[in-house]
Structure 1
Amino acid sequence: MSPSNDHRFEFELDNDKSKVTPTVELLLDACEAAGLCDLAGRFRISVALEEALVNAIVHGNLEVSSDLRESGDDLFEQTIAQRQEDPRFHRRRVRLHCRISGAEGCFTIRDQGPGFDVSQIPDPTDDETLDRPSGRGMLLMRSFMDEVVYNSKGNEVTLIKRNASVAVGSDPEFPTMQCHSE
Structure 2
Amino acid sequence: MAQDNKHMEVVLDTQVESVNLAEEMCLRVAEAAGFDEEVCYRIGMSVREGVINAFHYGNQERPDKKIHLAVDLTPEKLVIHVMDEGKGFKLTDVPDPLAEENILSTSGRGIFLMRAFMDEFAVVP
Normalization by structure 1: what TM-score?
A: 0.63
Partner of 2:53: 55
Measure the CA separation in 2 of the matches of 1:39 and 1:3: 27
Residues 138-181 of structure 1 show CA distances to partners (whole Å, capped at 9, x for unaligned) of 11101100111011x3xxxxxxxxxxxxxxxxxxxxxxxxxxxx
Using the alignment, how far apart are the partners of 2:99 and 2:114 within structure 1? Answer: 17
- For residue 44 of structure 1, report the CA deviation from its aligned partner: 0.5
Following TM superposition, the consecutive aligned residue runs of length 4 or more in structure 1 with deviations greater than 4 angstroms are 2-5
How many Å separate the matches in 2 of 1:98 and 1:137? 19
Structure 1 residue 149 and structure 2 residue 122: aligned? Answer: yes
Distance 2:114 2:4 in 1: 25
Q: 5+ residue gaps in structure 2?
A: none
Question: Which of these two proteins has the greater Rg computed from alpha carbons?
Answer: 1
Taking the aligned partners of 2:6 and 2:27, their CA distance within structure 1 comes to 11
The 1-side partners of 2:94 and 2:17 are apart by: 26
Report the counterpart of residue 127 of structure 1 in structure 2: 100
Question: Residues 3 and 33 of structure 1: is their aligned pair in 2 closer, same or farther, counting only changes over 3 Å?
Answer: farther
Letter aligned with residue 111 of structure 2: M
* RMSD of Structure 2 on Structure 1 (CA): 1.8
Answering whether residue 13 of structure 2 is matched by residue 14 of structure 1, we say yes
Q: Deviations over 1:116-155 (max 9, x none)?
A: 222111111122212212321111101100111011x3xx
For residue 94 of structure 1, give the secondary structure of its aligned residue in structure 2. Answer: strand
TM-score normalised by the chain length of structure 2? 0.89
Percent identity of equivalent pairs: 30
- The answer for the alignment partner of 1:101 in structure 2 is 74
Q: Which aligned pairs between 1:106-121 and structure 2 lie closer than 5 A? A: 106-121=79-94
Number of residue-to-residue matches in the alignment: 125
Secondary structure in 1 matching 2:80? strand
Partner deviation per Cα, 1:80-110 (whole Å, 9 max, x = no partner): 5xxxxxxxx3211111111023421111111
